Amino acid sequence: MTHASVLWHDARRLAYDVGSQRETERVALGDAVGRVLADDLVALIAVPHYASSAMDGWAVAGPGPWRILTSDTERGGSLREGRGGDDGGGADDAPAHAEGDSEGRRAGGGAILRAGEAVPIVTGGVIPPGTRGVLRSEHGVVAADRGVDAIPDAGAGVDAIPDATRSADVRPDSGLLGVLPSIDPGEPREGLHVRPAGTEAAAGETVFHAGALLTPAHVAVAAGCGHDEIAVVRRARVALLLSGDEVVARGIPGPGSVRDSFGPTLPALVSRLGAEVVAQHRVGDDFAATLEHFTSSRLGDALPPATARSGGQGADAAPDLIITTGGTGDSPSDHVRPALRAAGAEFLVDGIAVRPGAPALLARLPDGRLVIGLPGNPLAAMLALLTLAHPLLSSMQGRGMPELGRIRIATSLSAGTAPTSLRPYRLVAGEAHPTAWHGAGMLRGLAEADGVLVVPREGAAAGAELEVLPLPW
Ligand SMILES: Nc1nc2c(c(=O)[nH]1)N[C@H]1C(S)=C(S)[C@@H](COP(=O)(O)OP(=O)(O)OC[C@H]3O[C@@H](n4cnc5c(N)ncnc54)[C@H](O)[C@@H]3O)O[C@H]1N2
Ligand code: MOO
């Protein structure tokens, strides 16, 4: 190679440092998993936003036994059902109340439970004011109500309920309620099975900071905090330029032809790295055609059907990054470097002192678009993608530099011809076993790998600890 290679670690750092775009967009919650949070996420309401029951049973006030309130009149409004009626009590800090709440969790009117009264409640139901705690259904027994006079003194157990019956035909929503003899007669203690409002977050509290990679759990919390949309960092738009007269996309290749390793794999891989492929072009070993892609910002051909675009402005906007495959060498049929030079590109990484992947490059076109040139050899290309595109796309998302791990190697590795060699390995009993099939043109070793060893020029003895490049899949 005639270019001025940089060391492998420096190439990663240079790629990370050049990533800068920080545009944001708002996406529906359902599209937010895997995206990076652009602004701190604040709870719009307290979470939970009302005190609720953690059990099915009865909300009770004062010591038992309790008279179960049944009619709406008795409850001063329906404590339990609230079907189609008022919104939930205790939700004063909610900015807006959702329509179509499900039945059975809402309570109306702020009716106060008085000592000696109970009301049936379901898990998640609104705790009426005055509630001491929730008696779970399997701890209570209901007896037929013989009228107000039948309620014995406060503090008495179920045995004090006249004609106590545990028969199944006594409805749990009317009559006299007591604590089963086998249960602590003091139950429920103050606050038992009550989830107070605001225990997970106060209204206005920051729950996640900008830069968080949104998992399903983050998005579920955002929903609980009252959000319908989230501001996320716009994903970088990537155009693929796959070169090579010999590369075929279908069928059994004849001698001199190869099946395309990149067309079916790079869109998904780029998406895992936090960007989206918005265009995919094939170009033969042709200088003029290659140059055209660097001098024109048009996106050209349609995407392959499997490459779904997620909407937004991606369809018409110019890519932020062009990733080319093949043609990075110096032979007369290699046109990536000459075309970049002719387009006036600035080379930020012009070859890397690594095997495989030495001819990889990173350049910036005069219009600001970045170009990563991957070698044609498939393993070289995949490892160059991890070396350059992973740090660059992480930085474009406002994320940190992908961290290198460390691992002990089970077998010795001989000295290499470059300052750094990258070697896929399998993890067996906590140690790295370098895989077979690690030639630059092979992918079978990478396919069964758990990571990639970063091997210094001098090699390493069995038992040594080496740096590890994590795989993004
Ligand atoms: N005289 C020298 N020859 C080579 C050198 C060198 O220093 N001096 N470096 C070698 C190294 S290292 C690499 S890596 C390759 C770089 O090659 P290119 O980036 O120019 O890639 P091509 O020549 O276009 O293709 C190389 C190889 O990869 C196959 N290929 C290309 N595209 C695909 C694809 N989409 N899917 C599967 N395979 C693909 C192509 O058919 C070739 O076999 O140069 C070495 N030579
Ligand atoms: O370094 Mo090349 O990139 O061997 O395959």
Ligand 2 centroid–CA 342 distance in Å is 25
Ligand 2 centroid–CA 239 distance in Å is 23
Q: Which CATH number fits domain 47-200: 3.30.565.10, 3.40.50.1110, 2.170.190.11, 3.40.50.450?
A: 2.170.190.11
Class of domain 405-469: mainly beta
Instruction: Dump pLDDT digits (tens) for 304-314.
Output: 433 434 444 44
d(CA 72, CA 75): 5
Hey, whose CA ends up nearest to atom 32 of ligand 1?
376
Looking at the domain that runs over 28-44+204-232, which CATH code has it been given?
Answer: 3.90.105.10
Closest-lying ligand 2 atom to the alpha carbon of residue 418: 1
Hey, which residues does 131 pair with through a beta bridge?
Answer: none
DSSP for 201-260, written as a single string: B-TT-EEE-TTPBPPHHHHHHHHHTT-SEEEEEPPEEEEEEEE-TTEESSS---TT-EE-
Q: What one-character DSSP code corresponds to residue 267? A: H
Looking at the domain that runs over 6-23+234-396, which CATH code has it been given?
Answer: 3.40.980.10
Nearest-CA neighbor of 114 among 158, 58, 62, 74? Answer: 62
Q: Judge if the beta carbon of residue 1 lies within 6 A of ligand 1.
A: yes
Tokens 């019956």 — which residue?
Answer: 165
Residue 240 clears pLDDT 90, i.e. is over it: yes
The share of the chain scoring above pLDDT 70, in percent, equals 81
Residues of the chain within CATH 3.90.105.10 domain(s) are 28-44+204-232
- Of the ligands numbered here, which is closest to the C-alpha atom of 3? 1
Cis, peptide link before residue 95, omega less than 30° from 0: no
ipTM value, please give it. Answer: 0.98
Ligand 2 centroid–CA 258 distance in Å is 17
Nearest-CA neighbor of 17 among 393, 395, 400? Answer: 395
Instruction: Tell if the pTM clears 0.95, that is, is over it.
Output: no
For residue 146, how many other CB atoms are within 10 A of its CB?
13
Tokens 């009559």 — which residue?
Answer: 175
Average pLDDT over residues 357-365: 98
d(CA 136, CA 41): 36
- Of the ligands numbered here, which is closest to the C-alpha atom of 356? 2
Residue 12 clears pLDDT 90, i.e. is over it: yes
Closest-lying ligand 1 atom to the alpha carbon of residue 242: 35
Cβ–Cβ under 8 Å, residues 448 and 435: yes
Hey, whose CA ends up nearest to atom 1 of ligand 2?
356
Question: Minimum mean pLDDT among 71-85, 257-271, 322-336, 379-393: which range?
Answer: 71-85
Ligand 2 centroid–CA 10 distance in Å is 18
Instruction: Dump pLDDT digits (tens) for 385-414.
Output: 999 999 999 999 999 999 999 999 999 999
Q: Judge if the beta carbon of residue 325 lies within 6 A of ligand 1.
A: yes
Ligand 2 centroid–CA 359 distance in Å is 7
Instruction: Dump pLDDT digits (tens) for 258-282.
Output: 999 999 999 999 999 999 999 999 9
Residue 148 clears pLDDT 70, i.e. is over it: no
Beta-carbon contacts of 338 under 8 Å, excluding residues fewer than 6 positions away, are: 287
Ligand 2 pocket, CB under 6 A: 355-359, 375, 377, 380, 440
Instruction: Dump pLDDT digits (tens) for 197-215.
Output: 999 999 999 999 999 999 9
Give residue 156's pLDDT. Answer: 54
Half-sphere exposure of 407 (CA within 13 A, CB side): 26
Ligand 2 centroid–CA 290 distance in Å is 22
Cβ–Cβ under 8 Å, residues 242 and 307: no
Ligand 2 centroid–CA 288 distance in Å is 25
Q: 379: pLDDT confidence band, cut at 50, 70 and 90?
A: very high
Residues of the chain within CATH 3.40.980.10 domain(s) are 6-23+234-396
As separate numbers, helices (DSSP H) first and strands (DSSP E) second, the chain gives: 9, 27
Cβ–Cβ under 8 Å, residues 107 and 88: yes
Residues of the chain within CATH 2.40.340.10 domain(s) are 405-469
Average pLDDT over residues 62-77: 72
Q: 90: pLDDT confidence band, cut at 50, 70 and 90?
A: very low
Indicate the top mutation candidate among 377, 421, 444 to test ligand 1's pocket, ranked by most ligand atoms within 8 A of CB.
377
Q: Judge if the beta carbon of residue 359 lies within 6 A of ligand 1.
A: yes
Residues of the chain within CATH 2.170.190.11 domain(s) are 47-200
- Of the ligands numbered here, which is closest to the C-alpha atom of 353? 2
Q: 2: pLDDT confidence band, cut at 50, 70 and 90?
A: low
Q: What one-character DSSP code corresponds to residue 459? A: -
